[in-house]
């Protein structure tokens, strides 16, 4: 026989001798012999320890080794007195004072083993959200009323004879957070019993590693207040005051304050006092039912109750979302954001569960189970009360998810140089989290150039921030590898190998989601949910550019064919870049119409010969947002991230790909930093999403485009990568082109001046030799572009007939000298921008085609910016009040495109004047196109109408080759970048791909 360690034994003797108890359950079972018996009387047992044969100091392990796996240690409660521990045996044989033997089963066979969780709770004393300098203060009032008062509840109480109980309303304050909980007196009793059990567990800990804590624990537990006061204090009139003092005394005791039962009593969790999540909200323990996802493939195919699983979770309701989490480890399991489909319903008809509550939004019907109708009704009422003020419950302007945000700091960018530089500086300011989503992301891209080290390389920036504790979440489009070579797998592996704080998900899984043709096309970066960058620029190769639109980038600008090749990938480091003068390193130097990107896992090897092939300049527009608008952008990312996590990683441990939480808009105005040069305006975040992409449906970008065009008074300016519109009800469905036609016809009927400027790329961005027709993909896009502009009964110019003085269609081109030869290349317009009336503009990722606009195809993101301030300007020769941000953006575009810096006679102040439209714009575009055709015989051009003429044209001599000096003199007359779009190019050919080709077998929706 082995005796327990002395300190444990003496503490146990002291406690057991002090408090008698009565066993409340008896059950006869098979006998287990024990050498020493518990002394008992007829009904009262004096507490002592039964010294079991084979028991040693390692109490728990050796008890089980002696008595078998069916033995465990279990805290128990008997007749109002807490038993700190007991031996869980199938049977204990006891002997009373008269020598009578009794067989008593102390605990039923199927009760859980709680010893492990009790030990865990004793280890975890510090609760992070409670470690505030400001103490919790309580005020308690007495209510003699049910939880709620309404007709339904009153009818329930009358019908089922439910008694109306008294509730104590506990009002709590912690710093700036205030909330209330309602408790019955029995809840105070249960709390006191649990605290007493917790105290005894601390006294009786047998493990050696807790020895150093015992003295401190005893000192804290000796100060534990008693729930039972004097007889006068126990009177009803004195109870509230007494309970208030009791709870405040508990909160002054750190041992009691950090006890999990105390936290549950106060409805407190790790998310209660996070300022950026808004008010404390509503919390409590619930049972939730599995399933309910409104996503194909995530639910059990059956609807019987056996198809569901119930789990205990901690529910947290905030001002714009709710979540449930695992209370034991603090992991957030699911986040349900408030949206226009949000509603709460009670009853079996909605839940197939007695006392069930159904919480519904676009993505899920979440069912929770309560203990009574009263509790179910209370949850429903409180959730609705908290959600009611949320602005995301209403469908906003243009059918969007977010309302316009007044007085929002915003900034526009033309080209990638300024955008990437400001983005790099903003990433350096990140303190908590960075969200990135792109169609294509190149980890090795440099954000500041020329690169003289790796400090401003994207992957190094993200690694540096991750090492500082910032959480980096990247959401990439998972491409169909046979169709695209952007190698998102390389991007994911590269980033995730850098640091555990960097998480990358790719979406969609094409087979399981049955999504083969659509893409995640939006581009955005959100920093601490306070500053966001959106637009058309991926953080990828080939995107960085400035207003010079260089065609060459050789070593030291020598433009020599003898320039050394760039180093191999493993040789590129900070020391190698110390004296670097190149702007585009490796794959960043690109001309994707000549050759698309390949071998992206070798990023510092050139994709094309930069001594022979000019690069293709990249024109794009983007924007920076602050405050509430940035929170809206982050909310979109969070919806997509959580949706992708549930769809792809539902069964993977939640800590690896965590659920993200949207910050409250109530704290959005406290900006940690701002982007220099920002101005204030009204900003509304728009998007195109579908159930496959984000779990909800929206096409607010299309609605905003049409509304802006229809309500424009003087002009619209469009820059876009695609121009496929004019609905025919068959192949094309978006109405942007139709809105343009209607607005021009209205201006013509009213005899008012109105202008439409359209700038698109001269060729689609697909690999192909245009001298041989350009390939089937290029021809397919050209077919639908010409169908929108000028060919067929639905085209804009055919419907306008002789009214083309209202609209101009242009592209961009530039020239340079490479290896002693003159070269030209089109400027690839990748912008997605609409400017109207010098007062509002739209910048985003959405092209003018069905893929981007309808919402049911590609996912997109954009912002509508409307100036709130006014400055003097000119419109149609008259004084005009323009918006400062929009006016500056329009002038910047016109200045670069028209070459106004070198031609001071060009006046860009009045965008609709005849001088600007006919002379400054159309004459410049026509002259430039004529010069380029004469010098380079470049394609596409108006003189080529069919494939025969194309072949003949390609064989003609070029002035740039035969008479280079004369060609240089001709090129001196080029002004700006504008050229007319060649509306007659291949006009006699059917550009649709033949049915026998792989492009022809693809559905038409792929191209539109």
CB 498 within 8 A of CB 491: no
Return the top range by mean pLDDT from 59-68, 223-232, 328-337.
328-337
Whether 734 is covered by a domain: the verdict is: yes
Residue that wins the pLDDT comparison between 912 and 145: 912
Q: What is the pLDDT of residue 115?
A: 29
In this prediction, residue 137 has a pLDDT band, given cuts at 50, 70 and 90, of low
Q: What is the pLDDT of residue 30?
A: 34
Which stretch of 115-129, 630-644, 659-673, 852-866 has the lowest confidence by average pLDDT? Answer: 115-129
CATH number of the domain encompassing residue 331:
2.30.29.30
Cβ contacts of 801 within 8 Å, gap of 6 or more: none
Residue showing tokens 């480091």: 573
In this prediction, residue 828 has a pLDDT band, given cuts at 50, 70 and 90, of very high
CATH number of the domain encompassing residue 465:
3.30.870.10
Q: Per the residue annotation, which of 293, 832, 910, 980 is the catalytic one? A: 832
- pLDDT, tens digit, 9 for 90 and up, residues 981-992: 999 999 999 999
Domain limits for position 99: 6-113
In this prediction, residue 460 has a pLDDT band, given cuts at 50, 70 and 90, of very high
Q: Do 779 and 633 belong to one domain?
A: no
Q: What is the pLDDT of residue 252?
A: 81
In this prediction, residue 677 has a pLDDT band, given cuts at 50, 70 and 90, of very high
In this prediction, residue 735 has a pLDDT band, given cuts at 50, 70 and 90, of very high
Assess whether 187 carries a catalytic annotation.
no
Whether 532 is covered by a domain: the verdict is: yes
Q: Per the residue annotation, which of 632, 690, 837, 850 is the catalytic one? A: 837
Assess whether 556 carries a catalytic annotation.
no
- The CA–CA distances, whole Å, from 297 to 475, 631, 721 equal 21, 31, 36
Angle at 647 between CA 472 and CA 638, to 5 degrees: 40
In this prediction, residue 130 has a pLDDT band, given cuts at 50, 70 and 90, of very low
Q: Are strands 878-882 and 871-875 parallel, antiparallel or unpaired?
A: antiparallel
Q: How many CA atoms lie within 13 A of 396 on its CB side?
A: 22
Whether 692 is covered by a domain: the verdict is: no
Q: Per the residue annotation, which of 257, 503, 520, 521 is the catalytic one? A: 521
Q: Do 244 and 283 belong to one domain?
A: no
Q: What is the pLDDT of residue 220?
A: 61
- pLDDT, tens digit, 9 for 90 and up, residues 973-982: 999 999 999 9
Mean pLDDT of 388-412: 96
Q: Do 296 and 319 belong to one domain?
A: yes
Q: Do 623 and 592 belong to one domain?
A: yes
Mean pLDDT of 545-566: 70
Which stretch of 38-52, 226-240, 522-536, 973-987 has the lowest confidence by average pLDDT? Answer: 38-52
CB 389 within 8 A of CB 319: yes
| Cis bond before residue 940 (omega within 30° of 0) | yes
Q: Per the residue annotation, which of 194, 267, 339, 528 is the catalytic one? A: 528
Q: Is the pLDDT of residue 949 over 90?
A: yes
Mean pLDDT of 135-142: 52
Whether 158 is covered by a domain: the verdict is: yes
In this prediction, residue 229 has a pLDDT band, given cuts at 50, 70 and 90, of low
Domain end: 113, 140, 170, which one?
A: 113
Domain end: 113, 135, 151, which one?
A: 113
Q: Is the pLDDT of residue 859 over 90?
A: yes
Q: Is the pLDDT of residue 3 over 50?
A: no
Whether 396 is covered by a domain: the verdict is: no
How many CB atoms are closer than 10 A to CB 1?
A: 9
Assess whether 528 carries a catalytic annotation.
yes
Domains in the chain, number:
5
Q: What is the pLDDT of residue 651?
A: 67
Q: Do 530 and 662 belong to one domain?
A: yes
Q: Do 362 and 420 belong to one domain?
A: no
How far apart, in whole angstroms, are the C-alpha atoms of residue 286 and residue 359?
13
Which stretch of 229-238, 274-283, 409-418, 711-720 has the lowest confidence by average pLDDT? Answer: 229-238
Q: Do 740 and 815 belong to one domain?
A: yes
Q: Do 926 and 795 belong to one domain?
A: yes
- pLDDT, tens digit, 9 for 90 and up, residues 762-794: 999 999 999 888 889 999 999 999 999 999 999
**Phi and psi at residue 881, to the nearest 5°:** -95, 105
Q: What is the pLDDT of residue 180?
A: 87
Q: Is the pLDDT of residue 719 over 50?
A: yes
Mean pLDDT of the chain: 81
Q: What is the pLDDT of residue 902?
A: 82
Assess whether 521 carries a catalytic annotation.
yes
Q: What is the pLDDT of residue 617?
A: 98
3-state SS, 717-770, equals: EEEECCECCCCCCCCCCCCHHHHHHHHHHHHHHHCCCCEEEEECCCCCCCCCCH
Q: What is the pLDDT of residue 139?
A: 53
Domain end: 239, 265, 291, which one?
A: 265
Mean pLDDT of 700-711: 98
How many CB atoms are closer than 10 A to CB 134?
A: 11
Q: Is the pLDDT of residue 169 over 90?
A: no
In this prediction, residue 308 has a pLDDT band, given cuts at 50, 70 and 90, of confident
Q: What is the pLDDT of residue 554?
A: 80
Q: Is the pLDDT of residue 857 over 70?
A: yes
Assess whether 998 carries a catalytic annotation.
no
Q: Do 206 and 329 belong to one domain?
A: no
Of the candidates 838, 918, 914, the one whose C-alpha atom is nearest the C-alpha of residue 876 is: 914
How far apart, in whole angstroms, are the C-alpha atoms of residue 137 and residue 785?
68
Q: Per the residue annotation, which of 830, 858, 867, 910 is the catalytic one? A: 830
Q: Is the pLDDT of residue 542 over 90?
A: yes
Whether 230 is covered by a domain: the verdict is: yes
In this prediction, residue 213 has a pLDDT band, given cuts at 50, 70 and 90, of low
Angle at 591 between CA 585 and CA 595, to 5 degrees: 110
Q: Do 490 and 547 belong to one domain?
A: yes
In this prediction, residue 59 has a pLDDT band, given cuts at 50, 70 and 90, of very low
CA 175 from centre of chain: 30
Whether 693 is covered by a domain: the verdict is: no
- Kindly state the tokens that stand for 776: 């089937």
Q: Is the pLDDT of residue 295 over 70?
A: no
Q: Do 465 and 607 belong to one domain?
A: yes
Q: What is the pLDDT of residue 249?
A: 82
In this prediction, residue 729 has a pLDDT band, given cuts at 50, 70 and 90, of confident
Q: Do 315 and 245 belong to one domain?
A: no
Mean pLDDT of 727-749: 94
Angle at 434 between CA 429 and CA 436, to 5 degrees: 130
In this prediction, residue 556 has a pLDDT band, given cuts at 50, 70 and 90, of low
Q: Per the residue annotation, which of 523, 626, 648, 776 is the catalytic one? A: 523
- The CA–CA distances, whole Å, from 995 to 720, 992, 998, 1004 equal 29, 9, 8, 11
How far apart, in whole angstroms, are the C-alpha atoms of residue 541 and residue 531?
24
CB 338 within 8 A of CB 366: no
Q: What is the pLDDT of residue 7?
A: 39
CATH number of the domain encompassing residue 195:
3.30.1520.10
How far apart, in whole angstroms, are the C-alpha atoms of residue 651 and residue 531?
33
């Amino acid at each position: 026989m082995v005796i327990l360690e002395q300190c444990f034994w003496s503490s146990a003797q002291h406690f057991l001798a002090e408090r008698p108890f009565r066993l409340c359950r008896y059950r006869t079972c098979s006998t287990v012999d024990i050498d020493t018996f518990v002394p008992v009387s007829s009904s009262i047992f004096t507490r002592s320890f039964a010294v079991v044969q084979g028991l040693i100091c390692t109490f728990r392990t050796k008890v089980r080794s002696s008595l078998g796996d069916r033995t465990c240690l279990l805290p128990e409660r008997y007749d109002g007195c807490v038993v700190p521990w007991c031996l869980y045996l199938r049977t204990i044989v006891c002997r009373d004072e008269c020598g009578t033997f009794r067989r008593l089963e102390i605990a039923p066979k199927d009760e859980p083993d709680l010893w492990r969780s009790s030990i865990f709770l004793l280890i975890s004393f510090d609760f992070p959200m409670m470690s505030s300098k400001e103490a919790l203060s309580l005020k308690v009032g007495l209510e003699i009323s049910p939880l709620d008062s309404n007709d339904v509840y009153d009818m329930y109480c009358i019908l089922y004879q439910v008694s109306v109980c008294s509730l104590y309303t506990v009002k709590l304050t912690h710093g700036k957070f205030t909330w209330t909980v309602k408790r019955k007196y029995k809840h105070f009793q249960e709390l006191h019993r649990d605290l007493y059990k917790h105290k005894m567990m601390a006294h009786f800990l047998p493990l050696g590693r807790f020895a150093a804590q015992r003295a401190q624990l005893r000192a804290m537990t000796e100060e534990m207040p008693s729930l039972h006061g004097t007889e006068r204090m126990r009177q009803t009139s004195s109870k509230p005051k007494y309970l208030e003092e009791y709870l405040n005394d508990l909160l002054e005791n750190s041992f009691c304050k950090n006890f999990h039962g105390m936290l549950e009593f106060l409805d407190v969790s790790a998310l209660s006092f996070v300022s950026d999540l808004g008010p404390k909200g509503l919390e409590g323990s619930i049972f939730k039912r599995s399933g309910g996802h409104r996503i194909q493939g995530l639910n059990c195919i059956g609807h019987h109750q056996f198809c569901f699983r119930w789990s205990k979770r901690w529910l947290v309701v905030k001002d714009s979302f709710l979540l449930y989490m695992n209370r034991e480890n603090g992991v957030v399991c699911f986040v349900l954001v408030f949206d226009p489909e949000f509603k709460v319903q009670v009853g079996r008809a909605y839940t197939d569960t007695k006392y069930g509550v159904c919480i519904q939004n676009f993505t899920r019907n979440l069912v929770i189970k309560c203990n009574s109708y009263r509790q179910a009704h209370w949850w429903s009422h409180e959730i609705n009360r908290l959600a009611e003020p949320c602005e995301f419950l209403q469908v906003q302007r243009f059918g969007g998810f977010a309302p316009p945000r007044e007085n929002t700091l915003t900034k526009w960018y033309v080209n990638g140089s300024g955008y990437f530089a400001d983005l790099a500086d903003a990433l350096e300011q990140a303190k908590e989290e960075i969200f990135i989503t792109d169609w294509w992301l190149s980890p090795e891209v440099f954000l500041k150039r020329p690169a003289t080290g790796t400090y401003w390389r994207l992957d190094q920036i993200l690694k540096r921030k991750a090492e500082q504790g910032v959480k980096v979440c990247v959401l990439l489009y998972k491409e169909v590898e046979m169709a695209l070579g952007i190698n998102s797998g390389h991007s994911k592996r590269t980033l995730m190998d850098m640091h555990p704080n960097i998480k990358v998900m790719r979406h969609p899984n094409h087979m399981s989601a049955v999504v083969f043709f659509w893409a995640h096309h939006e581009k955005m970066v959100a920093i601490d949910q306070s500053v966001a960058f959106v637009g058309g620029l991926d953080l990828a190769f080939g995107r960085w550019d400035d207003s010079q639109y260089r065609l060459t980038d050789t070593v030291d600008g020598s433009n020599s064919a003898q320039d050394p090749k760039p180093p191999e990938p493993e040789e590129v480091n900070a020391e190698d870049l110390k004296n670097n003068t190149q702007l585009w390193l490796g794959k960043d130097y690109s001309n994707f119409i000549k050759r698309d990107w390949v071998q992206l896992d070798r990023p510092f090897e050139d994709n094309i010969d930069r001594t022979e092939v000019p690069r293709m300049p990249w024109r794009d527009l983007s924007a920076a947002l602050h405050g509430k608008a940035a929170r809206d952008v982050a909310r979109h990312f969070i919806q997509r991230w959580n949706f992708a996590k549930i769809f792809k990683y539902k069964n993977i441990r939640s800590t690896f790909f965590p659920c993200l939480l949207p910050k409250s808009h109530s704290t959005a105005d406290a900006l940690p930093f701002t982007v220099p040069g920002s101005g204030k305006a009204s900003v509304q975040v728009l998007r195109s999403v579908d159930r496959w992409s984000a779990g909800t449906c929206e096409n607010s970008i299309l609605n905003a485009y049409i509304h802006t065009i229809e309500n424009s008074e003087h002009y619209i300016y469009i820059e876009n990568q695609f121009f496929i519109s004019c609905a025919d009800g068959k192949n094309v469905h978006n109405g942007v082109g139709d809105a343009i036609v209607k607005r021009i016809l209205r201006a013509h009927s009213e005899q008012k001046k109105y202008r439409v400027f359209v700038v698109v790329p001269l060729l689609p961005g697909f690999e192909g030799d245009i001298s041989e027709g350009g390939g089937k993909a290029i021809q397919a896009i050209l077919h639908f572009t010409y169908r929108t502009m000028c060919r067929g009964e639905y085209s804009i110019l055919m419907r306008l007939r002789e009214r083309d003085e209202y609209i101009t269609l242009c592209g961009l081109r530039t020239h340079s000298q490479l290896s002693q030869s003159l070269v030209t290349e089109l400027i690839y317009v990748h912008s997605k921008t609409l400017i109207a009336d010098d007062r509002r503009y739209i910048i985003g990722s959405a092209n003018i085609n069905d893929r981007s606009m309808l919402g049911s195809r590609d996912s997109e993101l954009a912002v509508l910016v409307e100036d709130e301030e006014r400055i003097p300007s000119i419109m149609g020769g008259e004084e005009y009040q323009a918006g400062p941000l929009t006016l500056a953006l329009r002038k910047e575009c016109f200045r670069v495109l028209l070459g106004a810096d070198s031609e001071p006679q060009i006046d860009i102040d009045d965008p609709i004047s005849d001088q600007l439209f006919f002379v400054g714009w159309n004459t410049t575009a026509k002259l430039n196109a004529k010069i380029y055709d004469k010098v380079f015989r470049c394609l596409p051009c108006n003189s080529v109408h069919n494939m025969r003429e194309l072949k003949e044209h390609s064989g003609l001599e070029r002035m740039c080759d035969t008479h280079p000096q004369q060609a240089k003199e001709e090129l001196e007359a080029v002004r700006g970048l504008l050229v007319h779009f060649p509306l007659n190019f291949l006009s006699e050919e059917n550009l649709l791909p033949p049915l026998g080709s792989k492009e022809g077998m693809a559905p038409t929706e792929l191209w539109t």
